[in-house]
Amino acid sequence: MELPPGFRFHPTDEELITHYLSKKVFDDDFTSVAIGEADMNKIEPFDLPSKLGEKEWYFFSMRDKKYPTRMRTNRATVSGYWKATGKDKEIYRELTVALSKIACNRLQKELMEWQMNPPTGFKHKATDNLQRWVIEVNGAPGTPYAGEMYQLQVDFPEHYPMEAPQVIFIPPAPMHPHIYSNGHICLDS
C-alpha cells in the first residue's frame, strides 16, 4: 500500500513510542505503512537520501550488538558506519484526561494516607501531579532484590477507582519474568 500524494509523516516522539514502537515491541507482526523495516547494518547511510527523497526517515530495525556480552550497538556497515548524533532525551507521555470529581477526592485521601502511613518498604516521592505518582519500592528481604530500590510510576485514569491505574517500573526495572525491559508489568500468567 502506498502513501497518498501530499502525505507527510511527522509524528512527535510520544506518538512514535505510543502508536508505533511499543506496538512493534509487543507484536512482532505489527506493520505500518509509514514506517518500513530495514537492516541498518546492510544499508549505507549515503544511499538513503537518493532512495527516499525526505530529510527524516523512520524504520523498524533490530539492534545488533557490537559484542555479544555487552550493550554497545554495532553501527558498522560494509563501507562505513552509522554515527549517533544528538543528545538522548527522556520522553514523557502527557496525561490529557482530567480526573473526575470522585477520582480526585479519592486520590487526595489516598495520597494523604500514603504520606502519613506508607506500606512497609514503600515510599511516595513528592510530585505536583495528583494523577501520576512515583513510588519507591525496596526489594523484599530474602529475595534476589533485597537491598535494591526500584521506582514505580502509577498513572490513575479519569474514572479511578472504577478503572485500574497503570503501573510500570521506571527503568532500570528488576530482572523478572513478568517485567518487560521497558518496565511494563505482564499481568498474564
Domain ranges of the chain: 1-94, 101-170
Number of C-beta neighbours around residue 31 at 10 A:
13
β 59-60/36-37 pair status: parallel
* Per-residue pLDDT at 93: 62
DSSP percent split of the chain into helix, strand, coil, nearest 5: 20, 20, 60
pLDDT tens digits for range 34-46: 888 888 878 887 7
* Per-residue pLDDT at 94: 61
Does residue 141 or residue 65 have the better pLDDT? 141
Topology of domain 1-94 in CATH is: 2.170.150
Binning pLDDT at 50, 70 and 90, where does residue 15 land?
confident
CA distance 150 to 170: 8
Predicted confidence (pLDDT) at residue 68 exceeds the cutoff of 70: yes
b (16+ CB within 10 A) / e for 8-26:
eeeeeeeeebeebbeeeee
48-62, 105-119, 161-175: segment of lowest average pLDDT:
48-62
pLDDT tens digits for range 138-173: 888 888 888 888 898 888 888 888 888 888 888 777
* Biggest CA-to-CA distance, the chain: 62
* Per-residue pLDDT at 187: 67
* Per-residue pLDDT at 116: 83
Set of cell numbers at residue 113: 494516607
* Per-residue pLDDT at 58: 83
Topology of domain 101-170 in CATH is: Ubiquitin Conjugating Enzyme (3.10.110)
Predicted confidence (pLDDT) at residue 177 exceeds the cutoff of 70: yes
Does residue 51 or residue 180 have the better pLDDT? 180
Set of cell numbers at residue 68: 555479544
* Per-residue pLDDT at 28: 78
Please give the mean pLDDT across all residues of the chain: 80
* Per-residue pLDDT at 53: 57
* Per-residue pLDDT at 163: 86
Give the residue numbers marked as catalytic: 186
Binning pLDDT at 50, 70 and 90, where does residue 73 land?
confident
